[in-house]
Structure 1
């Protein structure tokens, strides 16, 4: 590929042997061409090395000015990119890399920039702030990289990206990397890029190749029990469980921890220090399961995940693509699991069409199947355990004497029972919780009408915009909002508007649906009157906002 000896040595030390498909196409292109580039590839396919290696080789180390600006959606991803670039540049001298992001001391970041940084990796908000302060000078950049561009747009960074792109020099090479190709990405390419060359690994807006897609058809009330059975059937699971809201995330994680599972939660209420602590435990595999919202999990870069579990099917198929793309990386296989109820089968088919892969229906495992799997996992562990002869030697004579009266078969039975009785007891009379479609379609439709029962999505009934008890312990009210996608509204903007007009409050926000001309959103019912009152005269981009309680469904 034409990479120099220093870079070859660094990637050899890291353990790279063969380039991934995206690296195979992008590296030679960037080494030999100055044309703008749009590269489509799933998360975890080696994009950082694809753009990082050729850029590092071409950096002018005699100049301290910033020559490369790399934008990413989250602090975690920015730090990960910078960390990877540092490894690739370990044998290159005089290359300085600086990371800038919100929530950290801006003075420290300014000092690093003033000392000189040929490569700056940052989140859009903090990057724009530093440009406006004239502390980050982008007038000499040769490369502008937009990594996870679709994620940045879905998080509401379009205005920041527009402002940064407008201030950057026209003669730079712009590199846009994205897992999906929504129309907003096409708009950025058309507006700010000059006849970009397109490289695609896999089909546009489709799921990762190494991921199997499974779904379990259950009643809403059995969702948590189904999750536990899936975890029990996979004793070596290492995965992320995606939930809709912070309340649901906390609820599921608390239940898992209470029931003895190695799990924790990642959501917006955590401080940065708490978030870092949870992520450190998960990356080191001290946690097997991380329960998270989509917003909290954005930018996480964790390899070797065996499973991604959708506790609920996301409304947007592209969100599913991003979730499922977190497993099945680096040539390894992964499984994306979705728990659905009967009324969601139509929506599942839409996602299936978008992912362009057949979803396989699985049966929620029986108690007997789980006990069998756990038993053989226990025996495998015994076979492979490291025996520390020296440490246990002094205890063995007493142990041999104490157990000498037991026959071999009886000793094995007792040994197995010590570890295994808990599972046997728990699943002794476990019912079948799979949905029989031929028998329950009528019951399921009655269940969803809300006649004194809780429907899956927060228990929405036909009583106007009032919700019954829903996710977690929250009671939601549903609002109609007179703006949609054509007004520049997305989920992030609605969350910001609610937070802006409920200062010093921590109102739980439920489902958000953004249409072309209007939107719907849910807020904790206790703040219903305050929302209506505080947003009565509010404006968005100079236009008067109109909201009201939603009527019907």
Structure 2
């Protein structure tokens, strides 16, 4: 196991990440950081939430920025407002002890666009943005991308599934002078291959982290066998035992999330629901309330949970297992952050026990059955 200094990360950045509780590089960090620090040409990495990908691209990007040049040199595109803000917050924390200040602006929908345009009049080295808001500000001539040298796409598969292909193609066209493109994606579907072929240079470095290494080993993976109509009762009994601990409950559909939220609320639990039909303002209200601990538990669908980053979650419950193995990694990675331990519990009916065996085989995990 290499440390961050051996990977080439400067001491001033190491001091910042150490304060965040990040002591040992994850596999994606060990493999990506040296390449991006030294070479930094076009790069594709398959990496899930919870694997430390923000540091994997964020630390090399910070090192490549010249603080003496007050122009946008790095551009990070994210699919959701929550993820963009999370990335911006992490970069700010990484540079806490940097000798020369690196200025980062986060541009996303839901925030006042006039205020964002005014903020861009200050020196800005890195922009983190959602595709739509970035192009809106470009149309207003609030910023230009002519000086961008490094373009990063985070959760590229999610951006394409959300219908941002046209916007991404436009952004690629506006940054033709860039020296490198770094693409991070949980999955590499055909749409990603087409995007790479159309918009990236030939022969990008491709890195795929083995599935057995993407799951945080500080997570205790468990499962319980129960029928569908028994799941709410099981969850209620489990939550009662957690006392002051906080957790995230995943449902496969928005209807299921809403129903479960109503059921648990009637039983007296302080729960909030995050699902795809919420407006940005409603999403912000839910997340702000959850982070301020006005709710103890959050129920969410996979799409709605993209970019959610809440510290101190003790457990994740899967009301239903997702269809894709990668989504299980996304979900369980919400707990056991920054060196902490956590629990991931899957609720399966008797006919789904083969799904647990599949997860054990593909991810190299051992699941303990609980009752």
Pairwise same-fold verdict (TM > 0.5): yes
- For 2:332 and 2:190, locate their aligned partners in 1 and report how far apart those are by CA, in whole Å: 21
Query: Contact conserved, 1:180 with 1:204, CA < 8 A, in 2?
Result: no
- For 1:96 and 1:288, locate their aligned partners in 2 and report how far apart those are by CA, in whole Å: 34
Shift of 1:199: 3.6
- For 2:161 and 2:336, locate their aligned partners in 1 and report how far apart those are by CA, in whole Å: 23
Match status 1:46 vs 2:52 = yes
Match status 1:61 vs 2:64 = no
- For 2:91 and 2:22, locate their aligned partners in 1 and report how far apart those are by CA, in whole Å: 14
Shift of 1:4: 4.1
SS in 1 for 2:157: helix
Distance 1:3 1:217, change over 3 A: closer
Shift of 1:39: 2.6
- For 1:210 and 1:27, locate their aligned partners in 2 and report how far apart those are by CA, in whole Å: 23
Aligned to 2:343: 335
Distance 1:134 1:172, change over 3 A: farther
Shift of 1:289: 1.4
- For 2:245 and 2:18, locate their aligned partners in 1 and report how far apart those are by CA, in whole Å: 30
| Equivalence map 1:465-504=2 (5 Å) | none
- For 1:351 and 1:45, locate their aligned partners in 2 and report how far apart those are by CA, in whole Å: 17
Match status 1:25 vs 2:17 = no
Aligned to 2:314: 306
Query: Contact conserved, 2:71 with 2:147, CA < 8 A, in 1?
Result: yes
Superimposed CA distance per residue, residues 238-272 of structure 1 (whole angstroms, 9 cap, x where no aligned partner): 21111233343233223223322232222345454
- For 1:335 and 1:15, locate their aligned partners in 2 and report how far apart those are by CA, in whole Å: 19
- For 2:16 and 2:62, locate their aligned partners in 1 and report how far apart those are by CA, in whole Å: 12
Shift of 1:286: 4.7
User: Out of 99, 119, 127, which is 1:112 matched to?
Assistant: 119
| Equivalence map 1:166-177=2 (5 Å) | 166-177=173-184
Higher relative contact order (CA 8 A, sep 6+): 2
Shift of 1:99: 1.0
The number of equivalent residue pairs is: 363
Superimposed CA distance per residue, residues 307-350 of structure 1 (whole angstroms, 9 cap, x where no aligned partner): 22121233444333322222233444433222233444456655
Aligned to 1:224: 232
- For 1:58 and 1:342, locate their aligned partners in 2 and report how far apart those are by CA, in whole Å: 53
User: Out of 94, 98, 107, which is 2:105 matched to?
Assistant: 98
Shift of 1:356: 5.0
Shift of 1:284: 4.3
Distance 1:270 1:334, change over 3 A: same
Query: Contact conserved, 1:238 with 1:306, CA < 8 A, in 2?
Result: yes
- For 2:213 and 2:265, locate their aligned partners in 1 and report how far apart those are by CA, in whole Å: 35
Tell me the TM-score normalized by structure 1.
Answer: 0.59
Which structure has the larger Rg over C-alpha atoms?
Answer: 1
- For 1:175 and 1:11, locate their aligned partners in 2 and report how far apart those are by CA, in whole Å: 21
Cα RMSD for the two superposed structures = 3.0
Once the two structures are overlaid, the 10-residue window that deviates more, 187-196 or 199-208, is 199-208
Tell me the TM-score normalized by structure 2.
Answer: 0.84
- For 2:146 and 2:324, locate their aligned partners in 1 and report how far apart those are by CA, in whole Å: 38
Shift of 1:223: 2.0
- For 2:114 and 2:221, locate their aligned partners in 1 and report how far apart those are by CA, in whole Å: 46
Query: Contact conserved, 2:41 with 2:179, CA < 8 A, in 1?
Result: no
- For 1:355 and 1:166, locate their aligned partners in 2 and report how far apart those are by CA, in whole Å: 38
- For 2:337 and 2:217, locate their aligned partners in 1 and report how far apart those are by CA, in whole Å: 9
- Structure 1: stretches of 5+ with no match in the other structure: 364-553
Distance 1:281 1:168, change over 3 A: same
Superimposed CA distance per residue, residues 379-398 of structure 1 (whole angstroms, 9 cap, x where no aligned partner): xxxxxxxxxxxxxxxxxxxx
Query: Contact conserved, 2:47 with 2:214, CA < 8 A, in 1?
Result: no
Distance 1:24 1:348, change over 3 A: closer
Aligned to 1:136: 143
